[in-house]
Structure 1
Amino acid sequence: MIYTLLTLGVVISIFPFYWMLVGSTLPSGKLLSVPPNLLPGKHLVENAKTLNESLNLAKVMWNSLFIAIVSTILSVLFCTMAGYAFAKFKFKGSKPLFFVILCTLMIPFQVTLIPLFEIMVWLDWLNTYQAIILPSLASPFAIFLMRQNMISIPDSILEAARIDGAGEFKIFFKIVMPTMKPALAAVSIFIFMSQWNSLLWPLITLNSKEMFTLPVALSSLIGLARIDYGQLMLGTTLSVIPILILFLIFQRNFIAGILGGSVKE
């Protein structure tokens, strides 16, 4: 009974992905046919051509990859530094400040949307990469996760490095960062997924097709009169592939990093 339920759960979980792959090979008219066509079709190349004509696929993929990669690198660096400071430096007001950062997790993004948009207008950053990248660099969740992981680093190791004459930046990059690989992998996956799948903020700040990210470009395929589901399924498949590859590469570190955040102070 247990194996039967688990098998059923696996089938239910995988079927949407299978249907997405099948849909990307079918013409739009056959995708919603009754009974549904569960076998791959022969329109993959045609859907790819029409999708490229509609979106300029290479430019859209480049925009998404550039924004996601740069955001991940910078955000991981800054959040790791902040987590290290909260975990290993005892300064006045550190606990209230960390509590304030955690409280920001309860603020919906929609609340800060209008003020943030006004700041972008004031800086004349609309329709630019920095308008998408910079507001997301300080992630409260990433700071919390890195701080919880860094609590487990023995203070004696850091003190020994200081006695040997190592500066704080050398200690951070040579000792702290290498020991935090699982946590770094977990945070990197979270941030990359968040930026790669982001729709609302890029939809508001980007106004030219040359700057569109993949989610924004895919949303433009949904028209009022006609929706080409074949193109939409293929575009969705392309949007899932990078995240799937990233998770498969770092899945062990991802699990270890999440478990490392369970350490209590």
Structure 2
Amino acid sequence: MKSKILTPLKYLFLIICSIISIFPFYWMVAGATNTSNQIAEGKITLGNQFLVNLKSLFEGYNIPLIMWNSIKVTLITVVLSLLVTSLAAFGFEKFKTRKSEIIYSIFLLFMMIPFAALVIPLFKMMAGFHLVNQHLALILPSVSNLFLIFFFRQSFKSFPNEIIDSGRIEGAGSYGIFFRLVFPMMKSTYAAATIYSFMNSWNSYLLPLIILQTEDKYTMTLLISGLSSASYVANYGVQMVAIVIATIPTLILFVAMQKSFVAGMTGSIKA
């Protein structure tokens, strides 16, 4: 009798939580189909102004170029950061020394420093390398992601040392063991790290705001931010369309990799 009462309550609670989670996304999509005045008035139903808002956005900005900027920066950042951080984590975990543990502890301490405190030093560093207003200035600071090093190392703790030893017996070097044995068995972990790295780079705002200075170098986050200050009266409909467009790549990636993401976050290893 008790379970018959609790089960409907659990489902009701989950339904309410789902509605709360989904509503902002629905409101964003609905806003993209309405005029700015309708959004300001609080209309939350679908309208018929999507094509008008879309046309205004593409007429005012070079959306294909800006999307390409975001995709280029994000993809390069994801590939390089996964390669560098996973190799570093593998070295820290499987080739432990007293000095490496000290260095790793220092890395963990650096994670406590707010990113906003690093913006000015990063800008001065990139200015010294003549990389201001260049996408490379966004990529380089994101390659050595300290959280990913920590995340990969925690996953490598559960990786069997026997497999590594068998690879050495077969004559494989350290890099051969990593790319031929470790990498194929840690696909779920890499999927989770890919989603994290992708979202971190795709949604980056503060560093691009400081580094990028011309519109032809803008990313989608800077475009969306600029839409709110482009005129005296913000066009919320156009802003919503831009947000919808910027959300699509992340949504596609997460839907495609959600199973691997869950498995990777739980630290599973597949042979």
TM-score, normalising length: structure 1: 0.95
Are 1:205 and 2:220 counterparts?
Answer: no
Distance in 2 (CA, whole Å) between partners of 1:159 and 1:5 is 50
Distance in 1 (CA, whole Å) between partners of 2:237 and 2:32 is 5
Among 104, 128, 151, the residue aligned to 1:122 = 128
1:1-265 equivalent positions in 2, closer than 5 A:
1-33=9-41, 36-223=42-229, 225-260=232-267
Structure 1 residue 248 displacement after superposition: 1.1
C-alpha deviations, 1:3-42, integer Å up to 9, x for none? 2222111111111111110100111111112xx3232111
Distance in 2 (CA, whole Å) between partners of 1:195 and 1:161 is 35
Aligned Cα root-mean-square deviation (Å): 1.2
2:189 partner SS: helix
Structure 2 regions of 5+ residues with no counterpart? 1-8
C-alpha deviations, 1:20-74, integer Å up to 9, x for none? 10100111111112xx323211111111111112221101100001101110000
Distance in 1 (CA, whole Å) between partners of 2:196 and 2:260 is 13
What is the identity percentage for the equivalent residue pairs of Structure 1 and Structure 2?
Answer: 38
Distance in 2 (CA, whole Å) between partners of 1:217 and 1:244 is 19
Aligned pair count? 259
- Hey, what does 2:4 align to over in structure 1? none
Structure 1 regions of 5+ residues with no counterpart? none
Distance in 1 (CA, whole Å) between partners of 2:94 and 2:248 is 38
C-alpha deviations, 1:205-255, integer Å up to 9, x for none? 000000000000111111262100001011111111111111111111111
Which letter maps to 1:20? M
Distance in 2 (CA, whole Å) between partners of 1:39 and 1:109 is 39
Distance in 2 (CA, whole Å) between partners of 1:28 and 1:50 is 12
